[in-house]
Amino acid sequence: MSDSFELEVEQITYGPKHHFFGYIGQSQTIPWNQGGRYIVALRNDFQDHMPGPGEAADVILIDTENDHAIQVVDQSQGWNPQQGTMFYWNPESPETQFFFNDRDLETQKVFTVLFDISRGKRIREYRYEDTSFGNSGVAQNGGYFLGLNYARMARLRLVTGYLGAADWTEGVVHPEDDGIFKVDVNTGQKELIVSFAQLGDALRDYHPGVESKEMFINHTLWNRDDDRIYFYARGKFNKREARLNVPFTVNPDGSDLTIQKVFIGGHPEWLEGHEILGHNADDLVVYDTDAQKIVRTLGDQSVFPEPGGDNAFSPDGKWIINGSGPKRGTVYVMYRMADGAWARTRRYDQGEWISGDLRSDPAPCWNRTSDQVLFPSISRNGTRQLFVITRR
């Protein structure tokens, strides 16, 4: 361990209710608002089953300047334990506005909400008559978000989707009217930038048998310049011998759809430019999506014993947080890019929630000043709670 810095951990929420943020801090998914006072999160009463229609979670603000007091500001019907409700503070108004997903209980259609805490209400809902999708990734510089069909995801890999949501594509292997949507935040105009039909065509020679495999999409990640999106096309994900799991890149206008033929596993994260952080074999590596090759390795097994965990790149571009587990307990490694200095937390036991749809993933998320990280864990009383790592 480097002696240049240390990590302190504080639990900031407590039971009996469960508290969690959800998604990994990829592509600057930051729980804190611009000023750093409020952390947005979810609160609910159970963790023993996937939520279905009518099982809402509270949308809450945690006041870091008032002993972590909690204020309930809304509710979401569009959430799951692994990804939460895809919170993202609006880059165009990060002090007061954030996105989250919801669903209509009459139609079961999924949609995205833009909420303003200064006005105490929803200021926009992104609903569409012919489709049902929710936010899957906001452009890091603002203006757009990507959308996915969370009902299709739930049908094909439950852990990623919203159980019981409306799915207009059921029974269609490679629909032409579903895939990755792009939404203009200010006008609400939507555009399908990649369809499943396009993905099927691209994979026909690369992945035999793709014609019969229903696909879903995961991890639609904007890079820091907002000129490239990385994602996975997946199918038969619970049958390893038949699994389809292929990384792609595409430009935000839908051009240059490209299979990335070097597979970078774990939960990849954009670094600067067109470089991706991920793992290959036993190494945490940097992969160039232009050259389609691994260009360097970070640390080694003594630093990152499980490089295939959840990784997030700090807003200031100087640090990586790697969270591994949860089967052997979750541990976090903070790594300084400039000199390779690092420090590690203790392991956090996730109890029975170590696998399956209800597991407690590492899911680390940076704050805006790049000196704290939020993470979820099972607390001593068995409830799912939030903790903060502070670098000293």
With tokens 């990640």, the residue in question is 221
17-48 confidence digits (pLDDT tens): 999 999 899 999 999 999 999 999 999 999 99
Q: What is the pLDDT of residue 3?
A: 57
Residue 132: DSSP 8-state: -
Q: What is the pLDDT of residue 239?
A: 75
Q: What is the mean pLDDT of the chain?
A: 96
- Rounded Cα distance between 132 and 145, Å, is 15
Q: What is the pLDDT of residue 206?
A: 87
pLDDT at 241 over 90: no
Residue 27: DSSP 8-state: G
Residue 228, CA distances (Å) to 73, 202, 256 in order: 34, 18, 10
Task: Name the residue among 285, 212, 111, 70 with its Cα closest to residue 203.
Answer: 212
Burial class (CB in 10 A: 0-12, 13-18, 19+), 392: exposed
DSSP result, 317-343: SSEEEEEE-STT-BEEEEEETTT--EE
Residue 160 has, within 13 A of its CA and on its CB side, a CA count of 20
Q: CA angle at residue 305 from 303 to 306, to 5 degrees? A: 125
Residue 267 banded pLDDT, cuts 50, 70, 90: confident
Residue 6 has a CB neighbour count (10 Å cut-off) of: 12
147-175 confidence digits (pLDDT tens): 999 999 999 999 999 999 999 999 999 99
What percent of the chain is modeled with pLDDT above 90? 92
pLDDT at 293 over 90: yes
The architecture of the domain spanning 7-391 is 7 Propeller (2.130)
168-195 confidence digits (pLDDT tens): 999 999 999 999 999 999 999 999 999 9
With tokens 């590690």, the residue in question is 344
| Residue type at 286 in one-letter notation | V
Burial class (CB in 10 A: 0-12, 13-18, 19+), 49: exposed
Task: Name the residue among 316, 315, 257, 320 with its Cα closest to residue 286.
Answer: 320
Residue 371: DSSP 8-state: S
The reply to whether the predicted model has a pTM over 0.85 is yes
Q: What is the pLDDT of residue 1?
A: 45
Lowest mean pLDDT across 110-114, 210-214, 254-258? 210-214
Residue-range domain boundaries for the chain:
7-391
- Rounded Cα distance between 188 and 181, Å, is 12
